[in-house]
Amino acid sequence: MGKTYWMLVTTQENLDITRARGFKLQGVDTRNRRKAVRMGPEDRVLYYVSDKSGFAATATVTSDSFEDDEPIWKHYREQEKFPHRVEIEANVVLDEEHYVDGYQVGPTLEYVRKWPPDRWPLAFFGMLHIIPQRDFNFIEEELKRAGGSPHQPEPTEPDADESEVAEPQVVEPSPVLSGATTKKRSAVASKSRKSSHRRRSQKRR
């Protein structure tokens, strides 16, 4: 069977959870079980954020569907665990402020043609939808134009031998730097360079 193109309707809160977990796993609610069990490797997923009325990301399915009741995502019904799950890999991901406006591109989609243009959101009721490849490709290109890029993994910690060069140091807040993590790393790096310079000077003597 060929790949299937899915549109997954979610909330900003639940998309943030998926993002925080590295876009590695996606769950589908019990009401969409029949569709969810059809998901498989190489299928594509388009994320639509309902409470922001915007398209946010695309991903590729990398596993067959399976069931798991580990609580991860949020739902107004506490018993809903989004148990029908697939492993995924992110393709194009936008920050919230750059989402593609659904009210601009939604009415142009082939998938929503049977609804009046001013009522196209009715086509997005429910969490999981099969959409035409043409619609998927069109919106993915819009995501790229809006500044979307492949999802980047979380930065790794510095090697142990690098962190041991500098002595522990308390860093005072500075309005020049953008964040606490940046300030600390800059101070440690500066200390490391000074210590290295002193050692080189001593050898010359």
Reported as a single tens digit per residue, the pLDDT across 65-78 is: 999 999 999 999 98
> What is the rounded CA–CA span in Å between residue 57 and residue 44?
11
Same domain for 120 and 176, yes or no, is no
Structurally, the chain folds into a number of domains equal to 2
Same domain for 199 and 128, yes or no, is no
Same domain for 170 and 135, yes or no, is no
The chain-wide mean pLDDT, for the chain, equals: 80
Residue 88, exposed/middle/buried by CB under 10 A (0-12, 13-18, 19+)?
buried
Q: What is the pTM of this model?
A: 0.72
How many Cα neighbours within 13 Å face the side chain of 123? 22
Which of 100, 122, 145 terminates a domain? The answer is: 145
pLDDT band at 46 (very low <50, low <70, confident <90, very high): very high
Domain containing residue 44: CATH number: 3.10.590.10
Could you tell me if residue 15 is inside a domain?
Answer: yes
User: Positive or negative, the Cα torsion across 90, 95, 96, 101?
Assistant: negative
Same domain for 31 and 123, yes or no, is yes
Could you tell me if residue 98 is inside a domain?
Answer: yes
Could you tell me if residue 182 is inside a domain?
Answer: yes
> What is the rounded CA–CA span in Å between residue 123 and residue 116?
10
Residue 49, exposed/middle/buried by CB under 10 A (0-12, 13-18, 19+)?
buried
User: Positive or negative, the Cα torsion across 31, 77, 57, 41?
Assistant: negative
Backbone angles phi, psi at 156, to 5 degrees: -85, 160
Could you tell me if residue 155 is inside a domain?
Answer: no
Question: How much is the pLDDT for 50?
Answer: 95
Outline where DSSP puts E strands in the chain: 5-10, 25-28, 44-49, 54-61, 66-67, 84-93, 100-101, 128-130
Q: For residue 93, is pLDDT > 60?
A: yes
Q: Would you state the torsion angle of the CA atoms of residues 62, 65, 71, 77, taken in this order, to the nearest 10 degrees?
A: 130
Same domain for 200 and 106, yes or no, is no
Owning domain of residue 199: 160-204
Same domain for 88 and 141, yes or no, is yes
